[in-house]
């Protein structure tokens, strides 16, 4: 072995991420010569599928983009379409959309923590191996995931690719008996969520402080989900329709997903960015739980993302219970609207971060053009930046297996949804 | 709660729609009519992940139908136990947590019904998902499924 290592590490297919991608890493001596996060799922082309379709079809079509976060695609889409109409959701509709989003955050975050990320921190290869030593924790995760699914089902008819969402309403309103039963389960789940925060905060999380820009939505009165302005930790404060003036998408040769930059620089979206920028909207009980972890939020350690996810599960359960306890059966679940020709903008907080859409409709109510910018696409440049910093921080002298594992941990922190972004990991390390 | 459940796992697009087509064909053939009311139910599920465990909860016997891509001849049918899945190459999973991972997790947690069988059908890459499955394959699958329930 010589002092000057020239090594290539390849993770040809990333495990425990949503979708398919790879990591190529070329190390020469003490330098990373090349690092490429390759997303090779074929582009899904949903933006093109929408062209020529009636606006009424949009919520059901975009729900097909992802089996994990369909609600996010539906919510940003109806917001963009309602922006064209000039429609403002009445309180019942606003509350039910927020409730449905709570369901998706609970379901998606629970899946990620228990089945995809926790094995990384507790030294297991997969969720089944984890379940042999931590059966109660894994059962808790499955219970929370099911609860999230059932909230989505309450409004969407089913949890995967729900069909209940429409422009200016829902196709049907939940019955009071369904609401009461779910509210009881939410009360019990708060204890599960509190224990989950303590559990993940106790993991041996690497200390890796980095300088990065957080981007999230911001609402005057509440933790952001369905509405608000776009803000950043660097002082950005814009309306949703100003997104394209500040954020630029560009293609990189090694990925079928577009990279996005804010003023030319990588940025972070997702639970840690959201929590960092909206700590003042966290319920007091959750603030107490977070303080007890000993972690100082806002945090600049990406490995605290798993704690932020657990915190958002607690927040979403708390929020969902509040919304359900105030539930009243509406006189109508949707409003009749007329769609004029025009361009609308929508942005909501998907589990993995902001999901921005621009939709143009013609005078027949048909979609002329659609742009959909999912969170994983936005996080790609930040993931590559984080990988460089984290691997250099770890030390490039370590063996390939350790570099590979650490790289995968870094990537999984972002809970990348590659299927959504393809528009994601195999590690491939060369050189040394 | 139906004691016998047949669950087709797939997706609405492409060749992974195969299991959904099988469930549709069983429904069209009136398979439920051959059993006492409430005894058997049919389900089509879109990549359920770990939620597959919930779909099976309370059942005595579950048959999971899934598309297989192993390079075998199109239409090849494999009948497997859950513990045989992890080593069977080529199971299609659109997301990382697929049928085999869900069944392995269920085995570890002791959460599987008393009897679970997986019927894996080799897909035909040249077959458009908008066309019906070949009649001979449908008939063969119906016979396999009925034999599994009877045995």
Mean pLDDT over the full length of chain A: 90
- Pick the more confident residue, A173 or B45: A173
What does the DSSP assignment read for A84-98?
A: HHT----HHHHHHHH
- pLDDT beyond 90 at A2: no
- Pick the more confident residue, B6 or B49: B6
Residue A225: predicted pLDDT: 97
- pLDDT beyond 60 at A352: yes
Are A358 and A191 in contact by the 8 Å Cβ rule? The answer is no
Angle at A230 between CA A345 and CA A94, to 5 degrees: 60
Outline where A123-161 has alpha helix (H).
127-133, 135-156
Sequence-distant (≥ 6) Cβ neighbours of residue A262 within 8 angstroms: A213, A215, A232, A236, A246, A247
Interface test with B, best of A11, A44, A45, A67 (most B CBs within 10 A): A67
- The percentage of residues in chain A with a pLDDT greater than 90, rounded to a whole number, is 72
> Which residues between 360 and 419 in chain A have a beta carbon less than 8 angstroms from any beta carbon of chain B?
419
Residue A189: predicted pLDDT: 97
* Alpha-carbon span B94 to B54, nearest angstrom: 19
pLDDT band at residue A412, thresholds of 50, 70 and 90?
confident
* A–B CB contacts, 8 A cutoff, strictly below: 64
Residue B51: predicted pLDDT: 86
**Among the listed residues B11, B8, B26, the one whose alpha carbon sits nearest the alpha carbon of residue B129:** B11
Burial class (CB in 10 A: 0-12, 13-18, 19+), A45: exposed
Mapped onto helix, strand or coil, the DSSP state of residue A222 is coil
Quote the crossing angle between the two packed helices A70-85 and A135-156, to the nearest 10°: 30
- pLDDT beyond 70 at A428: no
Outline where A32-90 has alpha helix (H).
46-50, 58-62, 70-85
The CA distance from B36 to the nearest CA of chain A, in Å, is 27
* Alpha-carbon span A292 to A156, nearest angstrom: 36
* Alpha-carbon span A354 to A190, nearest angstrom: 26
Prior bond of A298 cis (ω within 30°) = yes
* Alpha-carbon span A385 to B99, nearest angstrom: 34
- pLDDT beyond 80 at A253: no
Residue A135: predicted pLDDT: 96
What does the DSSP assignment read for B47-106?
A: --GGGHHHHHTT-SEEEEEEEE-SSS-TT-EEEE-GGGTTTSTTB--SSSS-HHHHHHHH
Contact residues on chain A for B104, CB-CB shorter than 8 A: 128
Compare all CA atoms of chain A with the CA of B53 and give the residue at the minimum distance: A142
Contact residues on chain B for A17, CB-CB shorter than 8 A: 96
* Alpha-carbon span A246 to B77, nearest angstrom: 54
**Among the listed residues B64, B10, B53, B29, the one whose alpha carbon sits nearest the alpha carbon of residue B142:** B29
**Among the listed residues A261, A335, A424, the one whose alpha carbon sits nearest the alpha carbon of residue A94:** A335
The CA distance from B26 to the nearest CA of chain A, in Å, is 22
Strand blocks (E) in A198-326: 215-218, 229-232, 237-238, 247-250, 259-262
Sequence-distant (≥ 6) Cβ neighbours of residue A327 within 8 angstroms: A95, A174, A176, A179
Angle at B68 between CA B62 and CA B69, to 5 degrees: 170
* Alpha-carbon span A359 to A377, nearest angstrom: 18
Are B6 and B43 in contact by the 8 Å Cβ rule? The answer is yes
Residue listed under structure tokens 């605290």: A304
Contact residues on chain A for B105, CB-CB shorter than 8 A: 115, 127-128, 131, 138
What ipTM, to 2 d.p.?
A: 0.78
What is the sign of the dihedral through the CA atoms of B7, B66, B120 and B73? positive
What is the sign of the dihedral through the CA atoms of B77, B81, B83 and B84? negative
Can you tell me the mean pLDDT for A215-240?
97
Residue A42: predicted pLDDT: 52
Residue A306: predicted pLDDT: 97
- Buried-exposed string B55-66: b where 16+ CB fall within 10 A, e elsewhere: bbeebebbbbbb
pLDDT band at residue A55, thresholds of 50, 70 and 90?
very high
- The percentage of residues in chain B with a pLDDT greater than 90, rounded to a whole number, is 48
Considering only A168-182, A228-242, A372-386, which range has the smallest mean pLDDT?
A: A372-386
On whether any CB of chain B is under 8 Å from the CB of A149, the answer is yes
Answer yes or no: do B105 and A19 touch at CB < 8 A.
no
Full-model pTM: 0.88
CB nearest to B46's CB, from A16, A18, A160: A160
Are B104 and A131 in contact by the 8 Å Cβ rule? The answer is no
Residue A431: predicted pLDDT: 54
Outline where A242-283 has alpha helix (H).
243-246, 271-277
- pLDDT beyond 90 at A259: no
In chain B, where the domains are located: 4-150
Contact residues on chain B for A63, CB-CB shorter than 8 A: none
**Among the listed residues A402, A420, A409, A285, the one whose alpha carbon sits nearest the alpha carbon of residue A353:** A420
On whether any CB of chain B is under 8 Å from the CB of A151, the answer is no
The size of chain B, in residues, is 151
pLDDT band at residue A14, thresholds of 50, 70 and 90?
low
Can you tell me the mean pLDDT for B28-47?
90
The structure tokens listed for B145 are: 């499924």
The second-level CATH assignment, the architecture, of B4-150 is 3-Layer(aba) Sandwich (3.40)
The CA distance from A414 to the nearest CA of chain B, in Å, is 15
Are A235 and A271 in contact by the 8 Å Cβ rule? The answer is no
CB nearest to B47's CB, from A132, A139, A160: A160
In eight-state DSSP terms, residue A30 is T
Can you tell me the mean pLDDT for A376-397?
92
Mean pLDDT over the full length of chain B: 85
The CA distance from B143 to the nearest CA of chain A, in Å, is 30
- pLDDT beyond 70 at A35: yes
Angle at A130 between CA A125 and CA A135, to 5 degrees: 165
Can you tell me the mean pLDDT for B104-121?
94
The CA distance from B104 to the nearest CA of chain A, in Å, is 6
pLDDT band at residue B129, thresholds of 50, 70 and 90?
low
**Among the listed residues A365, A418, A412, A348, the one whose alpha carbon sits nearest the alpha carbon of residue A386:** A412
The structure tokens listed for A140 are: 């808790």
Query: How many H-runs (helices) and E-runs (strands) does chain A carry?
Result: 15, 14
Contact residues on chain A for B54, CB-CB shorter than 8 A: 142, 146
């Amino acid at each position: 072995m010589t002092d000057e290592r020239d090594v290539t590490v390849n993770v040809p297919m990333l495990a425990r991420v949503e979708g398919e991608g790879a990591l190529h890493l070329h190390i020469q001596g003490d330098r990373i010569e090349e690092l490429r996060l390759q997303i090779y799922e074929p582009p899904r082309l949903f933006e093109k599928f929408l062209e020529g379709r009636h606006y009424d079809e949009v919520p059901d079509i975009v729900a097909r983009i992802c089996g994990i976060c369909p609600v996010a695609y539906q919510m940003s889409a109806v917001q963009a379409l309602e922006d064209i109409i000039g429609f403002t959701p009445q309180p019942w509709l606003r509350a039910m959309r927020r409730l449905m989003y709570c369901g998706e955050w609970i379901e998606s975050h629970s899946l990620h923590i228990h089945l995809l990320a926790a094995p990384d921190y507790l030294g297991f290869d997969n969720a089944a191996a984890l379940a042999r030593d931590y059966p109660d924790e894994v059962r808790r995760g499955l219970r929370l995931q099911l609860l999230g699914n059932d909230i989505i089902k309450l409004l969407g008819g089913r949890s995967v690719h729900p069909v209940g969402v429409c422009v200016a309403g829902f196709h049907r309103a939940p019955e009071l008996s369904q609401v009461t039963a779910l509210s009881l389960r939410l009360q019990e789940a708060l204890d599960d969520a509190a224990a989950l925060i303590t559990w993940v905060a106790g993991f041996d999380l690497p200390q890796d402080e980095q300088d990065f820009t957080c981007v999230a939505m911001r609402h005057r009165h509440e933790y952001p989900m369905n509405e608000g302005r776009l803000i950043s930790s660097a002082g950005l404060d814009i309306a949703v329709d100003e997104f394209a003036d500040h954020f630029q998408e560009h293609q990189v040769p090694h990925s079928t997903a577009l990279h996005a930059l804010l003023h030319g620089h990588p940025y972070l979206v997702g639970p840690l960015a959201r929590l960092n920028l909206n700590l003042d909207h966290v319920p007091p009980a959750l603030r107490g739980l977070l303080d007890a972890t000993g972690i100082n939020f806002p945090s600049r350690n990406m490995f605290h993302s798993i704690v932020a996810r657990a915190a958002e599960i607690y927040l979403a359960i708390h929020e969902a219970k509040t919304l359900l306890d105030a539930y009243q059966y509406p006189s109508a679940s949707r409003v009749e609207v007329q769609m004029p020709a025009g361009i609308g903008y929508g942005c909501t907080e998907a589990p993995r971060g902001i999901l921005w859409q621009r939709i143009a409709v013609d005078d027949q109510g048909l979609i002329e053009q659609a742009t959909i910018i999912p969170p994983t696409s936005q996080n790609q440049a930040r993931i590559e930046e984080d990988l460089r910093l984290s691997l250099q921080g770890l030390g490039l002298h370590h063996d390939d297996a350790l570099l590979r594992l650490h790289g995968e941990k870094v990537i999984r922190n972002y809970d990348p949804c590659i299927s959504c972004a393809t528009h994601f990991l195999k590690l491939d390390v060369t050189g040394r | 709660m139906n004691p016998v459940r047949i669950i087709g796992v797939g997706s609405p697009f492409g060749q992974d729609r195969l299991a959904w087509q099988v469930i549709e064909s069983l429904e069209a053939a009136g398979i439920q009519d051959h059993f006492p009311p409430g005894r058997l139910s049919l389900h089509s599920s879109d990549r359920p992940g770990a939620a597959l465990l919930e779909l099976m909860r309370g059942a005595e016997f579950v048959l999971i139908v899934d598309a297989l891509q192993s390079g075998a001849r199109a239409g090849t049918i494999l009948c497997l136990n859950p513990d045989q899945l992890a080593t069977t190459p080529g199971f299609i999973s659109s997301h990382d947590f697929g049928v085999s991972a869900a069944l392995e997790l269920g085995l570890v947690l002791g959460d599987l019904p008393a009897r679970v069988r997986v019927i894996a059908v080799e897909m035909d890459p040249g077959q458009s998902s908008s066309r019906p499955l070949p009649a001979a394959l449908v008939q063969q699958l119906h016979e396999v499924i009925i034999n599994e329930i009877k045995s």
